[in-house]
Every structure is written in structure tokens, then in C-alpha cells.
């Protein structure tokens, strides 16, 4: 009961500590005033379960020893003080080993899933890339060219800041998410000379030619539009590889004409469009795929057009710096203020693409799963090894006199080690095989949950080998202790 109550108290303390973990792992997903609290009814139920389990598992052996078999005790005198026969140790050790195997496999898959997210090919390089949002004042007296010139002047100003390597403009979104605003979902488009189809859809991304250099998205074929074409905003477009593979495989890409109604001015008060924004555009280049529909989904077909073709009341300026983007905050603010004293920065801070990645839903989910399952797996492994070592010690004590006689008759220490370790390792090995089978059965569920390939057998096998090796090391201590027994006191007690 003392052990059970101590474990319950320790569990409550850990639960209180863990209750703050979601806010610590993903602070940007919660309001600053958010407070994580313990669900007291659930905690009370857990405490009750712990106490009941302690009473139940403590009462069973107590009842057993309260009704001793005198004849068995007399017969056992001289052989051993305790016997493992008839005990429930194999059942308990086996169940503990299976659960540990499952939790360790879940931890392994969670870590593999998080590693997959953090090392996946994004199609662009987010390191040392920052961006700022620039709200634009809507002035009815200004035309599209005036707005385009103003944004270009802001981008040129950012490019003059020491430490800035390249600058690009985007007004439709922040990688790797989908574009936002009116172009936030794949838009229908048509090819010149072909009948329009509802299934031909692509993401429309409004960027400057410098955006590709800043993001390090390589040009595969053709060319990008020039600065003069960027100011006008019409008649040119660039597509990504996914667009070519889905809609133009085996066809001539460069020179093809596309048009999308989504680029036409819908009359919104914040829309500023070029004169021919919704007219035919010639595909002049093909760029490599870059994540544009989240981290968990494949790259969507995309059409890149000059940002000046369709502008809103804000834009994002992306820049690549030689060091941390936030390190040039003051210099950047000073430069923008010198260019336009009334120009504000959206959110009043510089954001980084690395930070954007770290708050993606799938990134946060995999991060939390990897931390939680790793903690649970380590705790389960520690408890399991403690139980295995205790079982080996129990068996060794039950065979103390037998071991002493064998040592007196010349048995080697290696033989004694194997005698003590063999029963426990056989049980553990059998339970690991069962746990391995369970892991393979659950692989599809875990693989879907952790966003990884579940067909690999290597992870489950590695977990099984780790558990077997750790179990052998846990048994080694009691076995070494038994191999160092002095046989003379045991022989005197037997004789």
C-alpha cells in the first residue's frame, strides 16, 4: 500500500506538470491569456484507480500467505525459503513487457513521423528567410501602376538594408500554406483552344520574379518575367512541375495560353487589378515544386503570375538575410520609415519562415506526439526493467540453496548466470514476439496517425531488439549477485 500510495502521489505531481505541456510545446496556437488546468474529476478517478489497484495487488499475496500450507512448508524446508512455482510473476512480467513493446513502438513511430516532417523536402529553403506584412492605404485617386510602383519601392528599400541578400513580393500567402484571400483554394482555369473543364484547377499565386530567388525555388525551363512585365502584370505566367505533370504531360508547355476568371476584378473595394488581369497569359517558364498546400498534402498545381495583376490592401515582402532575419529589425524599420514615414508593418514585427513551419498544425501535432510517446515509452521501459530485475531477483532468491549446491559442486559462474536469467528471458522473449505481432497489427493505425509509411518492419524489429537487450541487462545484476554466493553457509544450512 505504501508503494501504491507513493506512486499515486508521484503520478499526481507528474500530471500537474504535464498539464502545462501543451502551452509550452505550441505557445503560438493559444491566446496569451490561455490557462491549462487539470480536470479534477478525471484526476480523482485516476487516483481512485491507483489506490484500488494497490489494495487489490497487495491483498492477493497477503491472503495467500495468511492461509499457509504447513505440510508444504515442512517439505520445502531445506530446499528454499521461497519458491517461484505457482506465482503470478510470468503473467505480470509478460503483460508489462507487451505494453512496453507497444509504447516503445509508438514512440519510435512518433519520432520517425516528426523527423519526416522536419526533414521533408519543402521545395524551398526557409532558413534565414523573413517576411513582413505591409498594409496599403486604399486611395481612389491611385491606379494599379501607382500601387505596383509603391510596392516595388518598398521592396527596393528592404533590399538596401545591410545583411539582406535578396527580396521578393507575394500577396497571396505564406509558404507552405495555401494562398489566402480570394485565391485561397484551387481556381478553375482554361487552356486556349480547349473546352473549359471544372476539374482543371490550380492555385493562383501572385509574386514578383525576385520571390523565386529569395525562396530558392529553381527555374527548370523557360524564363521568369522581367521587372517591366511585373509592373504591367498582364500576359505572362509561370507554372510548377505538378501543373505540368497533371495537365500538360507530353504537351508543349512553353508558349501555351491559360486564363482564369479568378484574376478578374470582382468589384471588391480592396481589389486593385491590372487592365487585362483575367485575359489570356502565355506560359513562359516552369519552376520546381514547392510546398503550397500544407506539409501533410502533396504539392498542388500552381500558376504564378505577377503580383501587380491582382492586389489587395496589403502585401508581404520576403527577404533572405545573411544571418537571423530578426537581427535586422531596427535597420529595416529605419529604412522603411525613411522611405515612407506613414508605412506600418503588419503585426509590428518580422516573422520568419522557420517559425511559420513550427506552428503548422501537422508540425505541432507530430512534435507533441513524439514528446508524449517518448516520455511514456521511457517510463514504461523503466518500470518494465524494474519488474524484470525484481523477477530475476525473486527467482534467484528462490533458488539460492540450489545455486549454492551447484557452486559447491564446481558449477561455473556462467552456468549460474544462465540458470538465473534463462526463465525470465524466455518469458520476455515470448512476450516480445507477441508485442511485435501486436505492433505489426497496429502499424496501419499508427502509420496513419503519425503520417509515416507503416509498411517498414525495421522500426518494430529495432524496438524488439532494444527491449530484449535491455531485459538481458536488467537480469544481469541479480544473476551476478547469485553467481557470487558463498556456498559454505548454504551447505551448513542444508546439512
Tell me the angle at which helices 361-398 and 458-483 cross, rounded to the nearest 10 degrees.
30
- pLDDT for 78 equals 44
The pLDDT tens digits of the residues spanning 156-208 come to 999 999 999 999 999 888 888 876 655 668 889 999 988 888 888 999 999 99
Q: What CA–CA distance (Å, rounded) separates 155 from 208?
A: 10
Q: Give me 2's grid cell.
A: 505504501
3-state secondary structure of 412: coil
Mean pLDDT, residues 229-242 = 93
Position 433 pLDDT exceeds 50: yes
- Please determine, for residue 458, whether its predicted confidence score (pLDDT) is greater than 70: yes
Tell me which of 447 and 454 has the higher pLDDT: 447
The better pLDDT of the pair 187, 37 is held by: 187
pLDDT digits (tens, 9 = 90+) for 350-405: 999 999 998 888 888 888 888 889 989 999 999 899 989 988 888 888 888 888 88
Name the pLDDT band for 104 (thresholds 50, 70, 90). very high
- Looking at residue 411, its pLDDT comes to 82
Residues 6 or more apart from 234 whose CB is under 8 A from it? 274, 275, 276, 277, 279, 281, 306, 309
CA 391 to chain centre: 37
Beta strands in 310-442 (DSSP E): 310-311, 314-321, 346-352
Q: What percent of the chain has pLDDT over 90?
A: 37
Q: Tell me, what's the pLDDT at 447?
A: 75
Residue 453: pLDDT over 90 = no
Cβ proximity of 101 and 439 under 8 Å: yes
Q: What is the pLDDT of residue 407?
A: 81
HSE value, Cβ hemisphere, 13 Å, CA-based, for 386: 6
| Residues near 243 by beta carbon (within 8 Å), at least 6 away in sequence | 202, 301, 302, 303
Mean of the per-residue pLDDT values of the chain: 84
8 Å CB contact between 261 and 277: no
Of 126 and 295, more confident = 126
**Region of poorest pLDDT, from 75-84, 109-118, 282-291, 477-486:** 75-84
Amino acid at each position: 500500500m505504501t508503494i501504491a500510495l507513493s506512486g499515486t502521489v508521484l503520478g499526481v505531481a507528474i500530471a500537474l506538470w504535464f498539464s502545462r505541456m501543451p502551452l509550452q510545446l505550441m505557445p503560438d496556437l493559444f491566446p496569451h491569456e490561455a490557462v491549462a488546468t487539470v480536470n479534477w474529476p478525471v484526476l480523482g478517478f485516476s487516483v481512485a484507480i491507483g489506490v484500488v489497484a494497490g489494495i487489490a495487488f497487495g491483498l492477493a499475496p497477503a491472503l495467500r500467505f495468511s492461509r499457509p500450507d504447513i505440510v508444504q512448508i515442512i517439505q520445502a524446508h531445506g530446499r528454499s525459503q521461497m519458491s517461484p512455482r505457482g506465482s503470478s510473476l510470468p503473467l505480470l512480467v509478460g503483460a508489462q513487457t507487451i505494453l512496453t513493446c507497444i509504447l516503445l513502438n509508438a514512440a519510435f513511430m512518433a519520432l520517425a513521423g516528426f523527423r519526416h516532417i522536419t526533414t521533408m523536402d519543402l521545395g524551398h529553403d526557409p532558413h534565414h528567410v523573413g517576411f513582413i506584412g505591409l498594409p496599403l492605404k486604399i486611395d481612389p485617386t491611385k491606379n494599379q501602376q501607382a500601387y505596383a510602383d509603391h510596392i516595388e519601392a518598398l521592396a527596393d528599400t528592404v533590399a538596401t538594408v545591410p545583411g539582406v541578400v535578396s527580396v521578393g513580393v507575394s500577396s497571396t500567402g505564406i509558404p507552405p500554406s495555401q494562398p489566402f484571400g480570394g485565391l485561397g483554394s484551387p481556381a478553375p482555369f482554361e487552356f486556349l483552344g480547349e473546352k473549359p473543364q471544372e476539374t482543371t484547377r490550380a492555385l493562383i499565386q501572385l509574386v514578383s520574379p525576385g520571390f523565386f530567388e529569395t525562396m530558392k525555388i529553381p527555374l527548370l525551363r523557360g524564363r521568369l518575367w522581367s521587372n517591366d512585365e511585373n509592373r504591367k502584370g498582364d500576359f505572362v505566367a509561370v507554372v510548377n512541375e505538378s501543373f505540368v505533370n497533371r495537365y500538360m504531360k507530353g504537351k508543349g508547355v512553353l508558349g501555351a495560353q491559360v486564363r482564369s476568371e479568378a484574376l478578374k476584378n470582382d468589384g471588391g473595394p480592396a481589389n486593385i487589378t491590372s487592365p487585362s488581369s483575367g485575359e489570356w497569359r502565355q506560359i513562359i517558364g516552369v519552376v520546381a515544386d514547392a510546398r503550397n498546400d500544407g506539409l501533410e498534402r502533396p504539392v498542388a498545381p500552381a500558376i504564378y503570375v505577377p503580383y501587380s495583376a491582382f492586389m489587395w490592401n496589403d502585401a508581404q515582402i520576403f527577404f533572405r538575410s545573411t544571418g537571423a532575419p530578426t537581427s535586422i529589425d531596427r535597420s529595416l524599420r529605419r529604412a522603411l520609415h525613411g522611405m515612407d514615414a506613414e508605412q506600418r508593418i503588419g503585426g509590428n514585427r518580422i516573422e520568419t519562415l522557420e517559425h511559420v513551419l513550427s506552428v503548422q498544425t501537422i508540425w505541432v501535432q507530430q512534435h507533441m506526439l513524439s514528446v508524449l510517446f517518448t516520455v511514456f515509452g521511457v517510463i514504461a521501459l523503466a518500470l518494465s526493467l524494474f519488474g524484470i530485475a525484481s523477477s530475476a531477483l525473486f527467482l534467484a532468491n528462490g533458488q539460492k540453496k540450489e545455486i549454492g549446491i551447484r557452486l559447491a559442486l564446481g558449477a561455473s559462474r556462467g552456468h549460474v548466470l544462465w540458470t538465473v536469467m534463462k526463465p525470465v528471458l524466455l518469458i520476455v522473449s515470448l512476450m516480445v514476439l507477441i508485442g511485435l505481432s501486436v505492433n505489426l497489427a497496429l502499424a496501419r493505425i499508427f502509420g496513419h496517425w503519425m503520417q509515416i509509411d507503416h509498411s517498414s518492419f525495421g522500426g518494430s524489429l529495432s524496438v524488439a531488439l532494444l527491449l530484449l537487450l535491455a531485459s538481458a541487462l536488467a537480469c544481469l545484476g541479480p544473476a551476478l549477485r547469485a553467481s557470487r554466493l558463498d556456498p559454505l553457509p548454504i551447505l551448513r544450512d542444508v546439512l
